[in-house]
Amino acid sequence: MLSQAGEPTPGPTLGSAWISPSAGGILTVLPALRDLLPRGGLARGSVVAIAEFGLLCLALAAGASADGAWCAIAGVPEVGLLAAVGLGLDADRTLVVPDPGLSWPQVVASLLDGCELVLLRPPSRAPVAVQRRLEATLRRAGGVLLVAGEWPGAHLCLRVSRQWWTGLGDGHGRLRACRAEVTADGRGEAARTRTRWLWLPAEDGMVAAVDPADLPPAEAPDAGDPPRLQAVGAG
């Protein structure tokens, strides 16, 4: 079942009438992602915004899903489920709503009632009032809303600031693994910006931390120019 967080601080947001048994807990994430998140997991009742839909969204969802949570993916018809399954997502506990339509806030609210984790790419910009109402539903249900896109007031924002692949040559090879620099910041306890280099995905399709030795000095964090493939050497 879902693991409970080490820190059982419910936070001020959980003062609603019904508190789920696991309120104040976290949803597990993949081990490589723990460092990025202030509590080492996705805080229940929180909104996590990811700048753009991609493997990072799927990786964030995969840990909870592998741990027994139901996941819903709404508004992303192009979701690569094979990659998600490779990251650890359990397809048997996944609902996909490719097109939530115009009344997507209601759809998401319904999904939040049933699923611990909802990955949403809003089809349109929601008025602030609708956002607040969804956040209230989220706190009541004790789930986590991952938003691929903008969400003003999100508790945590993640983005892939740089990435490059290994394995492709000039007319030969194939994609093998990708180094991605992931940056996380947010409000409150997440205010401190965290940056990590991850294999997203690693050669086995999973996520792993990049050994600093794998980052040549020229490619190390804070290097000015975007990385060039040729500089990677051993791929």
Contact residues: another protein, CB under 8 A: 53-55, 58, 70, 72, 77-86, 91-103, 105-115, 130, 133-134, 137, 160, 162-165, 167-178, 180, 201, 203, 205, 226-229
Residue 83 and residue 201 in contact, taking contact as beta carbons nearer than 8 Å: yes
Query: Least separation, in Å, of the C-beta of 234 and another protein?
Result: 15
- Is 46 or 94 the residue whose CB approaches another protein more closely? 94
Half-sphere exposure of 114 (CA within 13 A, CB side): 11
Mention every residue, 6+ apart, whose C-beta is less than 8 A from residue 80: 58
- Is 8 or 171 the residue whose CB approaches another protein more closely? 171
Sign of CA dihedral 112, 114, 116, 121: negative
- Is 38 or 122 the residue whose CB approaches another protein more closely? 122
Alpha-carbon distance of 211 to 170, in angstroms, equals 26
Residue 89 and residue 185 in contact, taking contact as beta carbons nearer than 8 Å: no
Query: Least separation, in Å, of the C-beta of 54 and another protein?
Result: 5
- Is 6 or 169 the residue whose CB approaches another protein more closely? 169
Query: Least separation, in Å, of the C-beta of 215 and another protein?
Result: 14
Longest dimension (CA), the chain: 61
Alpha-carbon distance of 49 to 156, in angstroms, equals 6
- Is 174 or 192 the residue whose CB approaches another protein more closely? 174
Query: Least separation, in Å, of the C-beta of 184 and another protein?
Result: 17
In the numeric block, the tokens 């180094």 are attached to: 179
- Is 7 or 136 the residue whose CB approaches another protein more closely? 136
Sign of CA dihedral 136, 11, 149, 144: negative
Query: Least separation, in Å, of the C-beta of 14 and another protein?
Result: 17
Query: Least separation, in Å, of the C-beta of 13 and another protein?
Result: 17
